[in-house]
């Protein structure tokens, strides 16, 4: 496989990729002309991967962004094509948090202005006196990875932290010593305000005239997140009027930036330096290289932005059940007949305490394998389900009778359930079509429903033997004596058409998978 490194990353990252793949480092050739020849592309912030460019990447399987944001990638277009988009979200969090604190202190003590005056020959000691940050209220908008690190450092400076994030539980704020509050409450209470919101349609322009009007007079604002979060004209007007006492800005709506904010009073500016440390750059390159390699090798891409991701601790628990969910999805879809309107994924036991969206995606991935005119993977399986009008239902129960953990998948009522057994997490089928059964899941299986009468097992064995198909494993379950029985077999080769026809004629129902 071929990888294009479009923007320079750490040498360690390139070496990691070259140990496994054919890697070209090409920062100048017209991207629209060469992208079609690569299975993966690695970029930083300068390259813009639009829907048109992604469409031209006919072989693309993964886009690696060596950094946190993916604003420069059309993620929706990539998802529709089944392309994994992975980033390095942890790579620069320490650097960004430290830079935000540096900007805050520089703003509080007028350090850049005093430095410039002294270098220019002016001893202006009285002019550039500042304020202490101890006992001041720091408002944190966005309490993700970087926001939390900023809060920890601010608490170390004896600041009081009040924070807003609609996706963080109140107890998480309190664990870190911060007080949770609404967006408006943070604006109203903050002496210093630092922005760490993601950029989307809801947050773009969050700090505009109406928001500034709610702030304390003389508030100081720090933005080392995204330039588009702030209405620059409104901020300049507030700085000029004195409503905002100062601003420290690292990011701008258009970069490079040369606009009125640079000439506003009481401003500290840096040219998008928050992530620009040696440690962060090296870390981003290595992390994204690992993600690209995992995607190309069929592994689990832990930093994919268009696949549900879980933390390392959760993944340790959920990981063994990912292949199980995929196998159950494939089996349920076969039993449901393919033209399925509702697919239900249920988890039972300790698994129910975790974020199990990854298991749902795995079940969808298995369900649509071989049932789409495009390759199906963890990225586009939910898209395929939506396009086909398949309702996806998730359920959780904390108890699982007879099993510590259980995963069940139903396709329009055709239900199968399974679990993992042993240290090597072997995947077992434990129920199908209402019958309790215990059998290790295999690539090729046959499920036969029939009347519980003598001679059926021998007859089935003879049919498979005559067709030259070896039965590797078999188990039988029945609902009651003389009622209905279900036979499950794992087989070593594909059942030929004539055998399939014989099974259809001799059984109430027969299903062959693989």
Tell me how far apart the alpha carbons of residues 129 and 384 are, in angstroms, rounded to a whole number.
61
Binning the chain into helix, strand and coil, the percentages to the nearest 5 are 35, 25, 40
Strands 40-43 and 62-65: parallel
Cβ atoms of residues 194 and 96 within 8 Å = no
* Residues near 433 by beta carbon (within 8 Å), at least 6 away in sequence: 335, 414, 415, 416, 447, 449, 486
- On whether the CB atoms of residues 195 and 230 are closer than 8 A, the answer is yes
- Between the two ends of the chain, the Cα-to-Cα distance in Å is 27
Q: Is 423 exposed, middle or buried (0-12, 13-18, 19+ CB in 10 A)?
A: exposed
Distance (Å) of CA 380 to CA 224, 306, 329, 361, 441: 33, 9, 15, 9, 25
Residue 435: CA count within 13 A, CB half-sphere: 23
Furthest-apart CA atoms within the chain: distance in Å: 105
Q: If you write DSSP's letter for every residue of 53-104 in order, what string do you get?
A: HHHH-TT--EEEESSS--TTB-HHHHHHTT-EEE--TTTTHHHHHHHHHHHH
Return the active site residues. 226, 255, 272
Distance separating alpha carbons of residues 301 and 292, to the nearest angstrom:
8
- Say if CB 446 and CB 512 are below 8 A apart: yes
CA distance 153 to 158: 9
């Amino acid at each position: 496989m071929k990888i294009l490194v479009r923007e320079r990353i750490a040498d360690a990252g390139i070496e990691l990729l070259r140990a496994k793949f054919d890697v070209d480092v090409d920062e100048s050739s017209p991207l629209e002309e060469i992208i079609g020849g690569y299975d993966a592309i690695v970029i930083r912030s300068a390259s813009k991967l639009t829907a048109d460019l992604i469409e031209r990447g006919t072989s693309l399987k993964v886009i690696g962004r060596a950094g946190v944001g993916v604003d420069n990638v059309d993620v929706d277009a990539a998802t529709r094509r089944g392309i994994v988009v992975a980033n390095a979200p942890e790579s620069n969090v320490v650097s960004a948090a430290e830079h935000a604190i540096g900007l805050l202190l520089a703003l509080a003590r007028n350090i850049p202005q005093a430095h410039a005056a002294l270098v220019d020959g002016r001893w202006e000691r009285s002019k550039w006196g500042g304020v202490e940050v101890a006992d001041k209220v720091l408002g944190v908008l966005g309490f993700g990875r970087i926001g939390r690190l900023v809060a920890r450092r601010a608490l170390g400076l004896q600041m009081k932290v009040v924070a807003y994030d609609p996706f963080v539980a109140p107890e998480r704020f309190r664990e870190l010593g911060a007080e949770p509050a609404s967006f408006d409450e943070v604006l109203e209470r903050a002496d210093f305000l630092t922005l760490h919101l993601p950029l989307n349609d809801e947050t773009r322009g969050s700090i505009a005239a109406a928001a500034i009007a709610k702030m304390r007079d003389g508030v100081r604002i720090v933005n080392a997140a995204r330039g588009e979060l702030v209405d620059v004209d409104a901020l300049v007007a507030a700085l000029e009027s004195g409503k905002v006492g100062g601003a420290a800005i690292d990011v701008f709506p258009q970069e490079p930036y040369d606009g009125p904010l640079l000439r506003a009073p009481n401003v500290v500016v840096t040219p998008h330096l928050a992530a620009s440390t040696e440690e962060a750059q090296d870390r981003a390159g290595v992390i994204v290289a690992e993600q690209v390699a995992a995607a190309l090798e069929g592994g689990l891409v832990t930093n994919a932005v268009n696949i549900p991701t879980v933390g390392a601790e959760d993944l340790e628990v959920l990981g063994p059940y990912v292949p199980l969910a995929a196998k159950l999805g494939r089996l349920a879809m076969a039993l449901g007949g393919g033209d399925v309107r509702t697919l239900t994924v249920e988890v039972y036991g300790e698994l129910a305490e975790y974020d199990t969206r990854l298991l749902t995606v795995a079940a969808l991935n298995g369900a649509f394998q071989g049932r789409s005119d495009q390759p199906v993977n963890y990225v586009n399986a939910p898209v395929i389900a939506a396009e086909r009008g398949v309702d996806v239902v998730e359920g959780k129960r904390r108890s699982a009778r007879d099993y510590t953990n259980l995963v069940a998948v139903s396709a329009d009522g055709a239900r199968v359930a399974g679990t993992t057994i042993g240290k090597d997490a072997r995947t077992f089928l434990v129920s199908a079509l209402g019958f309790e059964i215990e059998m290790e899941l295999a690539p090729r299986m046959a499920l036969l429903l029939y009347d519980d009468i003598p001679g059926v097992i021998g007859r089935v064995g003879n049919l498979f033997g005559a067709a030259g198909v070896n039965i590797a494993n078999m188990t039988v379950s029945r609902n009651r004596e003389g009622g209905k029985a279900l036979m499950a077999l794992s087989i070593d080769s594909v059942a030929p058409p004539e055998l399939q026809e014989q099974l259809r004629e001799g059984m109430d129902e027969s299903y062959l998978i693989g």
